[in-house]
């Protein structure tokens, strides 16, 4: 069994942006079979698994905006004015742990892995890939 680590650097261009990183992850997988942890090192972003369908991606943005309303004032806004970005991140997850088979992510037909920017645009967002397997 081995453990391998790699990183993906992402520049984002919008405040809310869903970026499909499935093929980047597959390029960097360095084990044949095992588990990969995909972890975003930021508290205003997320890693999620879902379907890459343009209407659905807009529905996700619409739903997040409605769940974390801009009608209220939030205490963290006194610090750096991005409370809603943190709260959206809190509802999602900073990581996913997924199976690897034959050197690739073993996803379902309609599944992709997304980096979700919640406080962009930002430079040098870092996603850590930790692979455990053989």
Q: Would you tell me which residues interact with Zn ion (CB under 5 A)?
A: 80, 82
Smallest gap from Cβ 115 to Zn ion, in A, equals: 18
Q: C-beta of 83: minimal distance to Zn ion in Å?
A: 7
Q: How far is the CB of 82 from Zn ion (least distance, A)?
A: 4
**Closest residue by Cα to residue 125 from 46, 51, 66:** 46
What CA–CA distance (Å, rounded) separates 78 from 66? 22
Determine if the peptide bond prior to 121 is cis (ω within 30°).
Answer: yes
Euclidean distance between CA atoms 107 and 87, whole angstroms: 28
Q: Closer to Zn ion at the Cβ: 51 or 80?
A: 80
């Amino acid at each position: 069994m081995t453990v391998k680590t790699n990183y993906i650097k992402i520049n984002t261009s919008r405040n809310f942006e869903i970026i499909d990183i499935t093929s980047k992850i597959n390029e960097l997988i360095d084990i044949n079979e095992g588990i990969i942890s995909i972890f975003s090192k930021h508290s205003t972003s997320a890693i999620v698994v879902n379907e890459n369908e343009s209407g659905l991606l807009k529905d996700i943005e619409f739903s997040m905006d409605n769940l974390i309303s801009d009608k209220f004032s939030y205490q963290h806004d006194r610090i750096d004015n991005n409370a809603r970005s943190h709260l959206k991140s809190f509802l999602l997850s900073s990581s996913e742990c997924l199976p690897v088979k034959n050197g690739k992510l073993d996803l379902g037909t309609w599944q992709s892995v997304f980096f979700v920017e919640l406080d962009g645009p930002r430079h040098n967002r870092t996603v850590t890939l930790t692979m455990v397997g053989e």
